[in-house]
Structure 1
Amino acid sequence: MQLLNKAVVTEHLNMQAAIDAIEALLRHQDQNPNWIKSPDRLVIGTFSEDDKHSKGSHLSMPATIYDGEQEYTAVKLVTICPDNPSRNLPTTTAIITVSKNDTGEILAIMDGIYITQVRTAALSGIATKYMAKSDCESVAVVGCGGMAYEQLHAVLTVRPEIKTVYLWNRSHENAQAFKTRFVQDYDQWDVEIKVCEAIEDAIRDADVINVATRANEGLFRVEQIKSDAHINAVGAYQASMKEIGDDVIASSSMVVIDDLAGGRHEAGDLIQAHDNADCSWTWDDISGDLKELVTQKLKKTNDGITLFKSVGAARFDAAVALYVAQQAAQNDHGTSVDW
């Protein structure tokens, strides 16, 4: 069994590998739907909102993958701690185990923070690959927290022609820090990064808009963005949260979600749009899911606004974690221990 800390996972997992692993999973699921099992995550609320704590949550996310020869289980345990940035700690902490189902042998226990960030970003990268216009020149990052970092990396991976990045965050200082760190870590991208004082300045000319916040209401109006912009929305992971306004959702020519079953009770943006009697959009208007994009059963047909909503699902973590575990076993990454 391999023990893989965050440093080891980060060193041996790249964005393109994560994108490839998830696309392969989705094609595999389309061909053999019974070979992948991913029940709804178990979510337990933590704390009550007061002057000492923000509300958080603990999640348990199991999934099994059968590849035609061997079946594996990956289980991710996640704790979301909204107060952690003030402690100089990540908002999301996670650990993942990967095991073989025929013997129960544990192949790896690994830190799940980076895998969570990369797999979430990879989903947006895949959506951008299929939904954004082919001549993208700019991307806006709305919310410069932990999830936003790899989101930008994923978009640049699938759209390397992008030359301008706009950053906006409620804390201007954090946006500046994001810029400094990104330039240092990903100097292969020849892009100009601009930190914007106002959100409208960040999104006005953006061809792709990445949104990853804990907002409770829409952050911008449809008239503030380009008529053919593509939006990746990865925040608002609870029914009470919202970062994409109803007018943006109703005006989108395509609305695609990564996990339809989970989204119906977790995708706050879409849930609230559906429940709003003044909004014309309902769940009946959803275009499809990410699997249909990857298998080309769903294709972009016009140049209107496109929206990808991500809530995450255990099978996506499992696909990336299994790749990491197999690479670790083959190449002796991390620390090998008897169990």
Structure 2
Amino acid sequence: MLLKQSDIQKIISMQDVIDIVDKTFVDLGEGKTINPTKLNLNLGDSEPTNLPYKASLNAMPAYIAWQDMAGQKWAGGWGKGRREIGRPFINALIMLVHPNYGDFLAVMDGAWITNMRTGAQTAVILRYLLKDKKDITVGLYGAGVQGRTQTEALTTIFNVQKLYVYDPVPAAAAKFKEEMKDKVQGEIILVDHPKDAAKADAVITVTPATQAFLKGEWLEKGTIYFAMGSYQECDDEAILGADKLICDHVGQCLHRGNLKALAEQGKITEESVYCTVGELAAGLKDVGSVADQKLLVVPIGMGCLDVAVAGIAYRKAFSLGMGETFAFDE
């Protein structure tokens, strides 16, 4: 089956994605779902490759136990070429495979699923940490596609009373506010300086920034900071000053994104990680009172979430007679 992005959008809602992400996190924490470390193809994103594309591709395989589904996402980010032609930073494709017979079941767009599950994972993790708390304030850095899906997911679970938004491009922030004002229960407040978005229950950086702009001294006790970018968006103090560090996949988090440089210096190790998101979801670990701590969450992104959402999309599409059939072996 071949599934277009528009097909998936018709049959999968943000609430669906939230439920799928939650169930997959629990499954992962219980040791049932298999999620190997992603394999990276460097297309000029970093040294030593000297390719001019400023891009990278990741192969992200997974087996989803609660669906009995295997698959892989092939996803990448392009810091130069795609932006020049007006396309989003992320592009992705997902393939599903029958775990017993080895038949390729579906190939589908993965960019929309990536953006949706990235938003959903933040909201789901925040629910694990805040437990019964519903009224929250949020500081959001980045008013792009990821900023929108973060907001959509958060407002699905929580009552967002104030959403502080910082983007270095004022026009992007203004467009975000206009498009998202009906989704946010409370007020969207655009700020001119990054410091002004840092005093919130949840602080989220979803930017392509390659230089740290968020300072640890801005973060107060009771703040949960989600470091989501592909590079280091925050200074070392924001990382080393956290009372607890939570990762989705320890190996991946230490070798890319916000923790990479400190891990290479030996200042962050596997022992620095208090727990994984899966352990939180399965009830194996508890962070205690959030009000007395600064928490750092680094969900670098796992293929199991993409494959899980794709698996449900495939089964829904199949039952509705959607998509196109194509046999590669004919």
Q: Would you call these one fold, judging by a TM-score over 0.5?
A: yes
Q: In the alignment, which residue of structure 1 is the partner of 2:186? A: 191
2:123 to 122, 125, 140: 125
Task: After superposing the two structures, state which structure 1 stretch, 187-196 or 169-178, moved more.
Answer: 187-196
Query: Judging changes above 3 Å, is the alpha-carbon distance between structure 1 residues 282 and 65 closer, same or farther for their aligned structure 2 residues?
Result: closer
Task: After superposing the two structures, state which structure 1 stretch, 289-298 or 143-152, moved more.
Answer: 143-152
What is the letter of the counterpart of residue 17 of structure 1? Answer: D
Distance 2:53 2:166 in 1: 23
Q: In the alignment, which residue of structure 1 is the partner of 2:175? A: 177
1:82 to 63, 79, 84: 79
Query: Judging changes above 3 Å, is the alpha-carbon distance between structure 1 residues 20 and 212 closer, same or farther for their aligned structure 2 residues?
Result: same
Query: Judging changes above 3 Å, is the alpha-carbon distance between structure 1 residues 274 and 108 closer, same or farther for their aligned structure 2 residues?
Result: closer
Which contiguous aligned blocks of 4+ residues in structure 1 show a shift greater than 4 angstroms? 274-277, 336-339
SS of structure 2 residue aligned to 1:36: coil
Distance 2:240 2:45 in 1: 34
**Alpha carbons 1:132, 1:306 under 8 Å: kept:** no
SS of structure 1 residue aligned to 2:284: coil
1:300 to 287, 292, 301: 287
SS of structure 2 residue aligned to 1:262: helix
SS of structure 1 residue aligned to 2:311: helix
1:64 has 2:69 as partner = no
Distance 1:209 1:325 in 2: 34
1:287 has 2:274 as partner = yes
Q: In the alignment, which residue of structure 1 is the partner of 2:250? A: 260
Give 1:261 shift: 2.0
Give 1:291 shift: 0.4
Query: Judging changes above 3 Å, is the alpha-carbon distance between structure 1 residues 105 and 249 closer, same or farther for their aligned structure 2 residues?
Result: same
Give 1:128 shift: 0.9
1:212 to 206, 210, 214: 206
Q: In the alignment, which residue of structure 1 is the partner of 2:323? A: 334
Give 1:107 shift: 2.8
Query: Judging changes above 3 Å, is the alpha-carbon distance between structure 1 residues 228 and 191 closer, same or farther for their aligned structure 2 residues?
Result: same
Q: In the alignment, which residue of structure 1 is the partner of 2:259? A: 270
**Alpha carbons 1:79, 1:94 under 8 Å: kept:** yes
Distance 1:42 1:135 in 2: 37
Distance 1:201 1:270 in 2: 24
Distance 1:189 1:166 in 2: 11
Distance 1:165 1:192 in 2: 6
**Alpha carbons 1:131, 1:306 under 8 Å: kept:** no
Task: After superposing the two structures, state which structure 1 stretch, 188-197 or 165-174, moved more.
Answer: 188-197
What is the letter of the counterpart of residue 198 of structure 2? Answer: I
**Alpha carbons 1:152, 1:210 under 8 Å: kept:** no
Query: Judging changes above 3 Å, is the alpha-carbon distance between structure 1 residues 30 and 148 closer, same or farther for their aligned structure 2 residues?
Result: same
Q: In the alignment, which residue of structure 2 is the partner of 1:315? A: 304
List gaps (5 residues or longer) in structure 1.
none
1:164 to 162, 166, 188: 162
2:196 to 196, 201, 211: 201
Distance 1:318 1:29 in 2: 13
SS of structure 1 residue aligned to 2:83: helix
Distance 1:27 1:18 in 2: 14
The alignment covers a number of residue pairs equal to 320
Give 1:129 shift: 0.8
**Cα-Cα RMSD:** 2.4
- Please report the TM-score for the alignment, with normalisation by the length of structure 1: 0.85
1:251 has 2:250 as partner = no
Distance 1:174 1:71 in 2: 41
Query: Judging changes above 3 Å, is the alpha-carbon distance between structure 1 residues 126 and 338 closer, same or farther for their aligned structure 2 residues?
Result: same
SS of structure 2 residue aligned to 1:162: strand
Query: Judging changes above 3 Å, is the alpha-carbon distance between structure 1 residues 213 and 207 closer, same or farther for their aligned structure 2 residues?
Result: same
Distance 1:188 1:135 in 2: 16
List gaps (5 residues or longer) in structure 2.
none
Query: Judging changes above 3 Å, is the alpha-carbon distance between structure 1 residues 80 and 216 closer, same or farther for their aligned structure 2 residues?
Result: closer
Query: Judging changes above 3 Å, is the alpha-carbon distance between structure 1 residues 321 and 283 closer, same or farther for their aligned structure 2 residues?
Result: same
Query: Judging changes above 3 Å, is the alpha-carbon distance between structure 1 residues 299 and 48 closer, same or farther for their aligned structure 2 residues?
Result: closer
**Alpha carbons 1:65, 1:73 under 8 Å: kept:** yes
Give 1:276 shift: 5.0
Give 1:135 shift: 5.6
Give 1:311 shift: 1.1
Give 1:82 shift: 1.5
Identity of aligned residues (%): 23
What is the letter of the counterpart of residue 216 of structure 1? Answer: T
Deviation per residue, 1:201-243 (Å, 9 max, x gap): 2223x221110123334322233233211111110x3xxx311
